[in-house]
Amino acid sequence: MKGSDASTQDTHSILTTRPFLGVAGVLLGALIATCTGRLMSVGLADIRGALHLGVDEGAWINTAFNASMMFIGPFSVYLGGLLGPRRVLLACAWIFTVASFLIPFCRSLDGMIALLIIAGLSAGTFYPLTLSFVLRSLPMRFVLVGIAMYATDIIFTTDMAQAWESLFIEHLSWHWIFWNATILTPAMIALIHFGIPWQPLPKPQPGHPTPNWRGFLYASLGAAFLYTALDQGQRLDWLHSGLIVGLLAAGILLVQAAIVRHFLQPNPLVNYQFLKRRNTILLAPVLISFRFIMLATVVSIPSFLGSVRGFLPLQEAPVLVWVALPQFVLGIAAMALMRRIDPRLILAAGFSLVGVACLLDSRVTSVWARANFGISQAVMAVGLALAFNSMVGAIVLEILDTGALKRPADVLTFAGFFQVIRLFGGEMGSTFMGHFIAAREQFHSNMLGLNVQFGNSLTDSRLISLQHAVAPHSTGTTTIGRAAEVLVLQVRQQAFTLAISDSFLLVAMCCAACLVVVAFMSKVPTQYRQITAAPVEAK
């Protein structure tokens, strides 16, 4: 027992040699992974155009990268526990750098997909190892600073990606969607090299089961298959596609096999005892809901400005910047609040403000422009900062309260679990939102179309006014046809505007549901006021 304690102390001293450099490195890694995924998402049309790819072919570009990140999420727990975070992060960062550099040179879809899979597998290790290293390396009095940096990192990058992609396309080329990571990752490598010292490979203890990779492989493959089915389901018409049915069946079977194997042959690198805690279970749907709520800024508003107002991506970007830039100040404010207030109260306040912002946006009309979103986006920025910082803070309190921080395998299990939930939450949210907006647009189009009939006095009056408007640009009998085309276009714009309004109401309802979930969370005995006041030696 004494030998075990000595080993733990040695590991602790090694980890805290240059903690701030190491923390900066892993936080930069999380930023790079988030930024690359978002740049690919908002720049997909530019990538398809450059490679002359159709919609169906180009749809696999994002899927290849994100499904690979999903695969490596659970497997990172195995790799981190077996090899240590330094070896995994350095090796994967170099692989990611090379893959990102080579991707723009591919002129075939197969070659690009192969490199994207490699890039996703390497970048997917950045997330699970980030929060675990931050918690194990920073002194407890700085843990809130680490949480604020991590939260700001994610929200800022998600909302700024459209602005960066627009600048790349306007002034450089689509290659920089990937070369952006090629430039940033070497800085991450340098920080990790000097901030995370070398450690000997962990040795299995006599009498303990040896780590095995099969259970991780089953879970990782199952999660990747399910993610791919969700990502491609809408395009392939869900259960009417044999591919989707096969992916769902294989994914469910593999996940079940991983669960059965874990109970029959426990793995020392995995400890799911924390899943028995009520707060941990409740935080999973809260995280899924937060990923869905962020779609109000990254999907609904850009879709409206692009489809209804005809804005270019560079013109849409300032609306998202209004949410992104204040995060640096708001993250510090949220950190200060968590020193004095229970994170549950801050979480409730954050979701309430996001709900208010969405209710303001639900009044959208077809004449709104960027300035009309100013007030709502300011409220949204405050709400997202409070919600995400306090959500991460609540997860960290669970880790500290269970004593998992003293057991690296438990921290990695926590991180791997919430990484899978985060990716699934984002994919389920974007899939459902896309289907919801399309269905509501069709509904409103049908309802509006019932009142647009030839012979109807209002319709005829509208057509006459449109004929006068297009007459200077038309000849002869084409005036009536062009007026009818303009009227159809206006109906479609109104239908899409109403669908976007419904999407904001849906997000507001999701915020209300989250408030109910938060109300059922129990208070953690140890709060941040005690943690930050504790001496450094108490860690």
6-52 confidence digits (pLDDT tens): 333 333 334 445 778 888 888 898 889 989 998 998 889 899 988 88
| pLDDT for 90 beyond 90 | yes
Read off φ and ψ for residue 517, nearest 5 degrees. -65, -45
Handedness of CA 428, 424, 151, 43 (dihedral sign): negative
- Read off the DSSP letter of residue 84: -
| pLDDT for 477 beyond 70 | no
Non-local (6+) Cβ contacts of 116 within 8 A are 61, 64, 65, 68, 99, 103
pLDDT for 537 equals 46
For domain 273-539, give the CATH superfamily: MFS general substrate transporter like domains (1.20.1250.20)
Q: Which two tokens stand for residue 153?
A: 């990192």
Q: Which two tokens stand for residue 363?
A: 């009044």
Cα–Cα distance list, 402 to 77, 199, 416 (Å): 18, 26, 16
438-473 confidence digits (pLDDT tens): 999 999 988 887 776 665 666 656 666 666 666 666
pLDDT for 2 equals 38
> CA 127, CA 69: separation in Å to the nearest integer?
9
| pLDDT for 283 beyond 70 | yes
- Mean pLDDT, residues 222-244 taken together: 91
**Greatest mean pLDDT range, 133-147, 197-211, 238-252:** 238-252
More confident residue, 364 or 310: 364
- Mean pLDDT, residues 368-392 taken together: 91
Closest CA to 77 of 428, 427, 407: 407
Non-local (6+) Cβ contacts of 119 within 8 A are 36, 65, 68, 96, 99, 100, 103, 178
| pLDDT for 135 beyond 80 | no
| pLDDT for 5 beyond 50 | no
Q: Which two tokens stand for residue 113?
A: 């997909």
Task: Find out whether 89 and 28 touch, Cβ atoms under 8 Å.
Answer: no
Q: Which amino acid is at 39?
A: L
Q: Which fold has domain 1-211?
A: Growth Hormone; Chain: A; (1.20.1250)
More confident residue, 486 or 157: 157
pLDDT for 16 equals 43
pLDDT for 8 equals 38
pLDDT for 21 equals 85
Non-local (6+) Cβ contacts of 5 within 8 A are none
Vertex 487, ends 486 and 492: CA angle to 5°? Answer: 95
| pLDDT for 286 beyond 90 | yes
pLDDT band at 272 (very low <50, low <70, confident <90, very high): confident
Percent of the chain predicted with pLDDT > 70 = 86
More confident residue, 183 or 80: 183
Cα 490 to its chain centre, rounded Å, is 34
Helix axes 408-449, 374-401, angle to 10 degrees: 150
